[in-house]
Structure 1
């Protein structure tokens, strides 16, 4: 079996496991990259992988992700009898560098909305902030996803998981003016999913549009920080951590914690709830 035959089989394996097409595509691109820049997926050794990875100028999070991806792929090859070993087994462990959440403040969101951005970009901002949608989910919103009676929006998120979300009042006012039987962000140019005019834009397009708007507004954020604002503002206003986790659609609470920024005044308010204890003016001990 040659490389392309192996990758076709791996593609079928991933689709059978019901992985998202975006995940499958990204994994294939990466493994083809490895195959080209090393001695090949059938011959590469652990040492060669270590030296190749060490030469890459990846961010910490990318390095963590790629290490995991290599182990997943080569473990699969070994299980399928396509290699006798797994060269990615026990690659040097990458310590994940902590990243403090950098949510937008409400006044920054208002500054972005007032910076002269077009209406469709303002709607993207609203979907990011009010219901915490991801860029790929925003790109695919269709009027048919809205339950106009129950005021909910159904979206398909990571892992092809479908979730119905309530639409808050502030967003509902915006939703009223959106198409009921068409994509909200149609593609006027062909992309990897649709021919021109036959579908919607991609998540990368949403991120690019918002990144440009944020930069022009003079703000030091990335689009995903709007989603962090969703979690942070709910927490700031006393919403249960479990409700926030559900709204963010996270499997684990520790993932939600990566989006939450607790500010000094919240900590101060927490300290102020402590019962006051009596503080004696003197020790009461007699001098010897």
Structure 2
């Protein structure tokens, strides 16, 4: 029955507006439901739960799924309408009011737009709606700021001022591999191959990849592991008993506090990742290989991490143009 309804709707789409098409779809489904539960009867909360389940199956992390959940729940609390009846104009008004109420930046509101777009795109793909109301709401322009990397001097300061062997090993591993903080905390001791100076990490979507670390990291990792007295399988654990696996927030807080003590601005795990990508490209590593190390599915994502060094541009100009 649903296949026949889709055929009718496709035939009529050329002659009716989106609003008319939505109404036609509701009338047809309601009329020919034949004792089946109509999609019209599905509650907004049920749509959200189905969407989150789909994202979970796709391999999204719980952190990402929770971000989707919070964003869409906020939208659902704003309207009494069924999501199938929400229009583009209403979504524009919602985003505008959201930004005014929360006094948030264009970057934040664009993240909200992107999450909600994913929700409506899923509804469209699953044939719960004819067309996403977000399709005509384009990416919100944001001010491009130069994202700073960690300098050679700063990395040495961070190393020299680590009072714990764990922190030194953690900083070196982040700096030499460029792995995500989520990948770092999920590492187990058995994942580390000291002889080959490499380890296997599981990135977004549980994609497995191999990353490599330098000799300095190897030494500091071994010293840290030899100093431990616990039996936890995790590579990095808390400093105090019961020595549990270190969490993302624990890494972020620790790095931030070390940085503040040295007056180094914004020391966080992602800054090490960006630094590694930038250094690799500056030294001539092919972008495809950097992409592989970082675990990006799209090379455009890798390019966003690679900040072009202005000194290199000047040197190249003198070599090729001047």
- Alignment partner, residue 80 of structure 2: 39
Contact 2:166 2:224 survives alignment (8 Å): no
Deviations, residues 156-192 of structure 1 (Å, cap 9, x unaligned): 1122211111222121112223449621233689xxx
Matched, 1:99 2:145: yes
Paired residue for 1:53, among 82, 95, 111? 95
Whether 1:183 aligns to 2:234 is yes
Indicate the structure whose relative CO is greater, using CA pairs within 8 Å and at least 6 residues apart: 1
CA offset digits 1:190-212 (Å, max 9, x no partner): xxxxxx95962332332232223
Structure with bigger helix share is 2
Helix, strand or coil at the partner of 2:136: coil
**Aligned residue among 187, 196, 205 for 2:250:** 205
Change in Cα spacing, 1:117 to 1:26, as seen in structure 2 (3 Å) is farther
CA distance in 2 between counterparts of 1:86 and 1:243 reads 37
**Tell me, what secondary structure is at the counterpart of 2:320?**
coil
Please report the RMSD computed on the Cα atoms of aligned residues, expressed in angstroms. 2.9
Q: Which moved more, 1:147-156 or 1:248-257?
A: 248-257
Matched, 1:225 2:267: no
CA change 1:187–1:41 in 2 (3 A) is: farther
Cα distance, 1:208–1:39 mapped onto 2, change above 3 Å: farther
- What count of residue pairs does the alignment treat as equivalent? 270
Gaps of 5+ in 1: 190-195, 277-288
Please give the TM-score of this superposition, normalised by the length of structure 2.
0.72
Q: CA deviation at 1:21?
A: 2.9
Corresponding residue to 2:261 among 216, 219, 225: 216
The aligned residue for residue 304 of structure 2 is 258
Q: Structure 2 regions of 5+ residues with no counterpart?
A: 1-41, 227-231
User: 2:55 matched to which residue of 1?
Assistant: 14
Aligned-partner SS, 1:153: strand
- The alignment's TM-score, normalised by the length of structure 1, stands at 0.80
* 8 A Cα contact 1:103 1:259, kept in partner: no
Matches within 5 A, 1:1-288: 1-39=42-80, 42=83, 44-55=86-97, 56=99, 57-83=103-129, 86-179=132-225, 182-186=233-237, 200-223=245-268, 224-274=270-320
Q: Is the 8 A contact 1:136 1:206 kept in 2?
A: no
